[in-house]
Chains A and B, each alone.
Chain A
């Protein structure tokens, strides 16, 4: 699962370069240009990735080290 989270991070970096929607003017919900809606959804994706990282890649050993003494 750890590896999957790292892979998802790399995938997000690639997905950020959305060259396919560069000139599309479609308005999502009648007001939001699709290029902006895509990146707003990307921000939500970042939050989900953050939650996955916390669940599967949390540095428990480091946390223990800091709480010692």
Chain B
């Protein structure tokens, strides 16, 4: 119950902030969509960072490291620090300048003007919406999955049908999803992009601080930083993966066990050369990155329903990161160049100079959030059973090592903060593009007053929130983190369009349309091969699909642009120095 009260207090604070930002509104559509270009460096950094980091930053990073080891940081975080900052510099500042000069509010307005084509807008619009909607679902489904286990037991007489038996009495996903959607809707509805920027700043600070707080408490329970390094699972001389430490309730600390607990086995140990075996003995595989195949036993979830089913089943897992996956993963962070909601945040900047702090501090913010979470994920390999679902690793480390309801509530608030700081921008962005790229584009300038435009955007936002909520409930069992990677891959595949639009005078509308179609078709091909959202790599070297989709988009852009008539001088003069 204490945990639930902390969460409710947090959501209340957020609503209060929404009401405050509503008082700052100037009432114009420019203010509602892009905060009248008034956001300074610190708010821009926090809102851009909060928008690019979803729940994955806290929960997913810990879980992924538990599965694959510390390579997770290089795979997802350090490369994002480099690529994101570069994109803010080479794409963000340039788009802000053109947006300010030509009064663009959406990405599609920019592409329509740059390629002198209405068609490109109609092609891009459904694709952007299709890619943003799963991203929204991730937030709502993720919020539901986060709140139910931590509030288990709060209302045992009311919520009697939990997702999993131990969570009886916990707030069910349909209710938490509804509350989260309503809170985000309220402050976006009232404050528009200014409200989202203020709320994002508050929420980004919350999830950054909460990640660090969880880290400090877990380090203490592990016996300090020096001891924590000994805790991760180790390979013994029999090729078994063993846990040498366990949590001692009396001492309220992790201590070395008399007998190490076997939790898995290195596959093909017997067939390995003597030299290879010697290299592996004593190794803590979560601290290295060379792929190792492991076998482990885990509880059979079907055992409860089917009396004949075995209680334990054997599963396999690849620890480490294949080098080709590590290399080709760099195409995924390119997605930030095409996120429509990030475009809108960029346009809120007061001046181009506002970007300076974001370019420098974004990689450092990633480091502050991700390094502690990656370490917790690696340490968890020595404490938790290997079959633990990755998204549950962080909450289980807290539950086992800390057992403090207030801290659990605060950390849950941190996870919700990370979720909502992305959700708000996406809701606002969809409302903005529906209003500007469809309704106002069709109706023409002057048909609606400024107040009517804001009203239309707000109506769209309400409809989008309602539809997304309904869809999230229908798909509530989807693997949210794998779905996130697919969204990023899709946006990353569209990157050649924005890059060519800004830097290549010879890029034509036909080239841009061909690039969008090539990227979308290859993306969809791999998406369906992955069973519509599962983890998928290409070939034995395990190449990330985003790399191939990107290549298809880039080749189509170059070949078709060169084969078609160059853009007119008039169009080019708007965007390039002659």
Specify which chain B residues have a CB less than 8 angstroms from the CB of A49 in the assembled complex.
Answer: 82, 85
Q: Are B360 and A35 in contact (CB under 8 A)?
A: no
Per-position binary interface string of chain A over residues 3-34, scored 1 when its CB falls under 8 Å from any chain B CB and 0 otherwise: 00000010011001111001111010111110
CB closest residue in chain A, given B320: A22
CB closest residue in chain B, given A36: B70
Q: Are B229 and A47 in contact (CB under 8 A)?
A: no
CB closest residue in chain B, given A22: B289
C-alpha spacing A66/B352, complex, angstroms: 9
A35 touching B287 in the complex, CB below 8 Å, given contacts A16-B79, A19-B323, A30-B225? yes
Specify which chain B residues have a CB less than 8 angstroms from the CB of A18 in the assembled complex.
Answer: 74
Tell me how many residues of B have a C-beta within 8 Å of chain A. 51
CB closest residue in chain A, given B78: A39
Specify which chain B residues have a CB less than 8 angstroms from the CB of A30 in the assembled complex.
Answer: 225-226, 229
Interface size class of A (residues with CB under 8 A): 35 or more
- Residues facing A in B192-233 (CB within 8 A) are 225-226, 228-229
Q: Are B94 and A62 in contact (CB under 8 A)?
A: yes
Q: Are A50 and B359 in contact (CB under 8 A)?
A: yes
Q: Are B288 and A16 in contact (CB under 8 A)?
A: no
CB closest residue in chain A, given B361: A47
Q: Are A47 and B378 in contact (CB under 8 A)?
A: no
C-alpha spacing A48/B66, complex, angstroms: 30
Residue of B73, B228, B284 with most partner-chain A CB within 10 A: B73
Q: Are A47 and B360 in contact (CB under 8 A)?
A: yes
Specify which chain A residues have a CB less than 8 angstroms from the CB of B323 in the assembled complex.
Answer: 17, 19, 22
Instruction: Report A28 CB to chain B, min CB distance, Å.
Output: 10
C-alpha spacing A19/B362, complex, angstroms: 25
Q: Is B97 interfacial (CB-CB < 8 Å)?
A: yes
Q: Is B363 interfacial (CB-CB < 8 Å)?
A: yes
A62 touching B97 in the complex, CB below 8 Å, given contacts A39-B78, A54-B360? yes
C-alpha spacing A1/B506, complex, angstroms: 28
- Residues facing A in B70-86 (CB within 8 A) are 70-71, 73-74, 77-79, 81-82, 85-86
Per-position binary interface string of chain A over residues 52-69, scored 1 when its CB falls under 8 Å from any chain B CB and 0 otherwise: 011001010111011111
Q: Are B70 and A33 in contact (CB under 8 A)?
A: yes
C-alpha spacing A29/B226, complex, angstroms: 8
Q: Is B4 interfacial (CB-CB < 8 Å)?
A: no
CB closest residue in chain B, given A62: B97
C-alpha spacing A39/B321, complex, angstroms: 15
Specify which chain A residues have a CB less than 8 angstroms from the CB of B86 in the assembled complex.
Answer: 9
C-alpha spacing A47/B289, complex, angstroms: 25
Q: Are B82 and A46 in contact (CB under 8 A)?
A: yes
Instruction: Report B62 CB to chain A, min CB distance, Å.
Output: 13
Q: Are A16 and B330 in contact (CB under 8 A)?
A: yes
Q: Is B35 interfacial (CB-CB < 8 Å)?
A: no
Instruction: Report A50 CB to chain B, min CB distance, Å.
Output: 4
Q: Are B229 and A44 in contact (CB under 8 A)?
A: no
Q: What DSSP secondary structure best describes chain B's contact surface?
A: helix
Q: Are A44 and B367 in contact (CB under 8 A)?
A: yes
Instruction: Report B290 CB to chain A, min CB distance, Å.
Output: 5
A50 touching B85 in the complex, CB below 8 Å, given contacts A43-B77, A59-B352? yes
Instruction: Report A62 CB to chain B, min CB distance, Å.
Output: 5
The listed residue (B73, B81, B98, B375) touching A46 by CB distance below 8 A is B81
The listed residue (B78, B98, B228) touching A16 by CB distance below 8 A is B78
A35 touching B97 in the complex, CB below 8 Å, given contacts A46-B82, A46-B85, A59-B352? no
Specify which chain B residues have a CB less than 8 angstroms from the CB of A27 in the assembled complex.
Answer: 229, 287
Q: Are A43 and B70 in contact (CB under 8 A)?
A: no
- Residues facing A in B44-101 (CB within 8 A) are 70-71, 73-74, 77-79, 81-82, 85-86, 89, 93-94, 96-98, 100-101
The listed residue (B78, B100, B366) touching A66 by CB distance below 8 A is B100
C-alpha spacing A39/B71, complex, angstroms: 9
The listed residue (A17, A23, A39, A63) touching B290 by CB distance below 8 A is A23
Q: Are B364 and A44 in contact (CB under 8 A)?
A: yes
Instruction: Report B228 CB to chain A, min CB distance, Å.
Output: 6
Q: Are A33 and B287 in contact (CB under 8 A)?
A: yes
Specify which chain A residues have a CB less than 8 angstroms from the CB of B283 in the assembled complex.
Answer: 25
Per-position binary interface string of chain B over residues 96-139, scored 1 when its CB falls under 8 Å from any chain A CB and 0 otherwise: 11101100000000000000000000000000000000000000
Specify which chain A residues have a CB less than 8 angstroms from the CB of B326 in the assembled complex.
Answer: 17
Specify which chain A residues have a CB less than 8 angstroms from the CB of B413 in the assembled complex.
Answer: none
Q: Are B89 and A43 in contact (CB under 8 A)?
A: no
Instruction: Report A67 CB to chain B, min CB distance, Å.
Output: 8
Q: Are A16 and B82 in contact (CB under 8 A)?
A: yes
Q: Are A23 and B81 in contact (CB under 8 A)?
A: no
Specify which chain A residues have a CB less than 8 angstroms from the CB of B371 in the assembled complex.
Answer: 32, 36, 40
Q: Is B374 interfacial (CB-CB < 8 Å)?
A: yes
Instruction: Report B570 CB to chain A, min CB distance, Å.
Output: 17
Q: Are A31 and B101 in contact (CB under 8 A)?
A: no
- Residues facing A in B331-352 (CB within 8 A) are 351-352
Q: List 13 A-B contacts (CB under 8 A).
A: A17-B323, A18-B74, A19-B323, A27-B229, A30-B225, A30-B229, A31-B228, A32-B375, A33-B287, A46-B82, A47-B360, A65-B97, A66-B352
